[in-house]
Structure 1
Amino acid sequence: MKALLATLLIAFAAGAPLDDPDAELRAQALMREVRCVACENEPVSQSSAPIAEDMRTRIREMVAEGATDTEIRDWFVSRYGEFVLFRPPARDPASWLLWTLPFILLGAGAGIGIVLARNAKRKNGEVEAEDA
């Protein structure tokens, strides 16, 4: 009976900030990491969609219940998929390639630029040597 009453109190109070300032800061940080599933590119902390309000309430409930950040993220991922996280974990090789490919292309472009500059410098040096 006490557990049911505590759960109901948490559910009614979850729309309001948590009493513990540290817990509220943690909940706010998590709300900035979780994407609103209706607005897509907006965190639940900034969205005015009804689903975002429910998601904020759920985050506060879980923080008040003592769930870890990882458990809260995992709960949202299990319900909405990895899309719900602004920073999804890189688990498979395809995602690693997606994150590293821009840097690989930048390095390759810089390498090509250096080789072309050296070749142009050599050609200019050879032309000047022939003219002299």
Structure 2
Amino acid sequence: MKAILASLILFFAAEGPLADPQEEARAQDLMREIRCVACENEPISNSGSDIAADMRERVRAMVAEGQTNQEIRTWFAERYGDFVLFRPPSRGLGGFLLWGAPFIFLLAGGALAFAISRNRRSSGRVEAVAPEDSN
């Protein structure tokens, strides 16, 4: 119960910068990594929206509680989805396909072009046939 009360106090009392400069610098770094859900492609550190202000305060409160950067990123991703992170985690086969598929298609297209070109060259050759002597 005390932990919940302390969290609430920190959450609502953390309206300004944190007292510890190192914690504030860490909070600022995190705020540049988290996307505002109201503004497209703008970090919460630069956004003027009300929700971004709430998100900044939540980051400061979580830093003051002693949570790690990864715990804070995970908390935001669980609530808003991976979209909220400027560097979302790559997950398994889906991440590989997203980044690897263009290269796979490029290699497959190159191999197909090579095979077609080679086939056309070999089928385009005309063999000389000796004329038959009709006499």
Unaligned 5+ segments in structure 1 are: 116-132
Q: CA RMSD in A?
A: 3.0
Counterpart of 2:22 in structure 1: which amino acid?
D
1:78 matched to 2:91? The reply is no
Q: Deviations over 1:18-52 (max 9, x none)?
A: 11111011000000110000002100000000000
Matches of 1:9 and 1:91, distance apart in 2: 33
Q: Deviations over 1:86-122 (max 9, x none)?
A: 000101312222223455567789x78xx8xxxxxxx
More helix as a share of residues: 1
Matches of 2:92 and 2:28, distance apart in 1: 29
Counterpart of 1:8 in structure 2: which amino acid?
I
Superposition pairs of residues 2-81 of structure 1, within 5 angstroms = 4=5, 7-8=8-9, 11-12=12-13, 14-81=14-81
Find the residue that maps to 2:70 and give its secondary structure: helix
- Judged with a 3 Å threshold, the aligned counterparts in structure 2 of structure 1 residues 5 and 71 are, in CA distance, closer, same or farther, namely closer
TM-score (norm: length of structure 1): 0.71
TM-score (norm: length of structure 2): 0.69
Which has more radius of gyration?
2
Matches of 1:5 and 1:101, distance apart in 2: 48
**Kept in 2: contact 1:10–1:64 (CA 8 A):** no
Runs of 4+ in structure 1 deviating by more than 6 angstroms, as ranges, are: 105-109
Find the residue that maps to 2:30 and give its secondary structure: helix
Q: Deviations over 1:39-87 (max 9, x none)?
A: 0210000000000000000000000000011110111011101111000
Counterpart of 1:20 in structure 2: which amino acid?
D
Matches of 2:62 and 2:70, distance apart in 1: 11
Matches of 1:41 and 1:22, distance apart in 2: 26
Matches of 2:97 and 2:24, distance apart in 1: 36
The alignment covers a number of residue pairs equal to 116
Matches of 1:77 and 1:9, distance apart in 2: 21
